[in-house]
Amino acid sequence: MTDRNPTAFEQKVYDFTLSIPRGRVSTYGAIARAIGCRSAQAIGQALRRNPYAPEVPCHRVVSTGLNIGGFSGERAGSEIDRKRRLLLDEGVRFLDESQIAPECLWEG
């Protein structure tokens, strides 16, 4: 988190992320396409700076292959464990430790 206000781009990312239903996930790439951005990585960077978490549920955004992806700027360790717990608590199903079941994908 930072003490600066979100950019207009970041706010578009956060607004879309708010629409992802509990128990479902979207992908960085799907959000990029939905808001007219060409970079899934830019979506990840915006979510890494999410000042509204957990109200803006950035934990519901995963990699295109439905792998858990990153969280809070981390790709492994306790933050990824926390993301997994948050998703499980919301009813997201996993096929293994990091792979999310395809039926949990929400494409908006």
CA atoms within 13 A on the CB side of 105: 18
| SS3 category, 100 | strand
Q: Output DSSP code: residue 96.
A: S
CB 59 within 8 A of CB 86: yes
Q: Is the pLDDT of residue 25 over 80?
A: yes
Rounded Cα–Cα distance for residues 56 and 47 (Å)? 9
Q: Is the pLDDT of residue 106 over 70?
A: yes
Domain borders along the chain are 8-104
Catalytic residue among 13, 30, 56, 58: 58
What percent of the chain clears pLDDT 90, i.e. is strictly above it? 88
pLDDT band at 108 (very low <50, low <70, confident <90, very high): confident
Q: How many residues are there in the chain?
A: 108
Rounded Cα–Cα distance for residues 104 and 70 (Å)? 18
The mean of the pLDDT values for the chain is 94
Instruction: Give yes or no: 58 in active site.
Output: yes
**Class of domain 8-104 as given by CATH:** mainly alpha
pLDDT of the residue at 1: 46
Query: What pTM value is reported for the model?
Result: 0.93
Q: In this predicted model, what pLDDT tens digit does every residue of 53-85 receive, in sequence order? A: 999 999 999 999 999 998 988 889 999 999 999
